[in-house]
């Protein structure tokens, strides 16, 4: 087999491995799985938000179809970070949020979940009376609700979520499924590997 064919087969193998990891279509959660995840979350979740959060999680997974989805996050910072007693991380809410973001990244990637879009608010336009003044918006793609639960269990076990609740005065989080999107993760990875392949083929020649 020529070097070029070895390169093609290698890159195709890499892409297929990525597609399998990235997933997006699987079997819905069973009732037994859901209860097992919720039981573990109930044991690990801490803070005054824990009981409400468990109810929200139960509602989220109630109609699971096994498919990928995007979680829309709207967030407003506290004036000062509010950590539980005994935690000494400082009172800068933005730094607390950055601490949370750095800590969750490995857990997201481990479960095939990736941030798609993060943006800071820079002004106002059409805003109803009484609407919240959000500081930023973030959209995170989850491979499935099963992987969302795996992620949630992992960050609760690592006591990571306290950074989020220390940072945020208020947040509105809800799942969405794109009807139209110009974010093509699978296509972008395929294009990147194709470019790498062209470059390596040129070097081989």
Do β-strands 114-120 and 69-77 pair in parallel, antiparallel, or remain unpaired?
Answer: unpaired
Q: What 3 state SS string does 56-103 have?
A: HHHHHHCCCCCECEEEEEEEEECCCCCCCCCCCCCCCHHHHHHHHHHH
Pairwise pLDDT comparison (182 vs 138), residue with the higher score: 138
Mean pLDDT of 119-137: 93
**What is residue 176's predicted lDDT score, i.e. its pLDDT?**
96
Mean pLDDT of 163-174: 95
Distance CA 53, CA 57 (A): 6
| pTM reported for the whole predicted model | 0.89
Q: Which of 22, 36, 37, 47 is nearest to 154 (CA)?
A: 37
Mean pLDDT of 79-102: 95
Mean pLDDT of 139-152: 96
- Sketch out the chain's domains with CATH numbers: 3-204 (3.30.70.100)
Query: Does the pLDDT value for residue 83 go beyond 90?
Result: yes
- Within 10 angstroms of residue 118's Cβ, the number of other Cβ atoms is 12
Instruction: List, for residues 51-71, the tens digit of each pLDDT value.
Output: 778 888 889 998 899 999 999
């Amino acid at each position: 087999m020529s070097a070029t064919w070895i390169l093609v087969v290698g890159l195709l193998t890499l892409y297929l491995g990525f597609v399998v990891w990235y997933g997006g279509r699987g079997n819905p959660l069973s009732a037994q799985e859901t209860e097992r995840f919720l039981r573990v979350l109930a044991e690990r979740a801490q803070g005054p938000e824990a009981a409400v959060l468990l109810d929200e999680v139960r509602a989220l997974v109630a109609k699971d179809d096994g498919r990928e989805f995007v979680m829309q996050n709207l967030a407003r910072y506290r004036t000062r970070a509010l950590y539980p007693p005994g935690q000494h991380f400082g009172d800068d809410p933005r730094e607390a949020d950055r601490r949370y973001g750095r800590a969750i990244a490995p857990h997201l990637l481990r479960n095939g979940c990736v941030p798609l879009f993060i943006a800071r608010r820079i002004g106002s336009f059409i805003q109803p009376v009484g609407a919240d003044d959000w500081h930023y918006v973030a959209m995170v793609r989850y491979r499935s609700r099963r992987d969302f639960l795996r992620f949630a269990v992992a960050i609760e076990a690592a006591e990571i979520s306290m950074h989020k609740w220390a940072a945020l005065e208020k947040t509105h989080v809800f799942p969405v499924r794109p009807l139209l999107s110009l974010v093509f993760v699978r296509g972008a990875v395929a294009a990147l590997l194709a470019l790498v392949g062209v470059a390596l083929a040129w070097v081989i020649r």
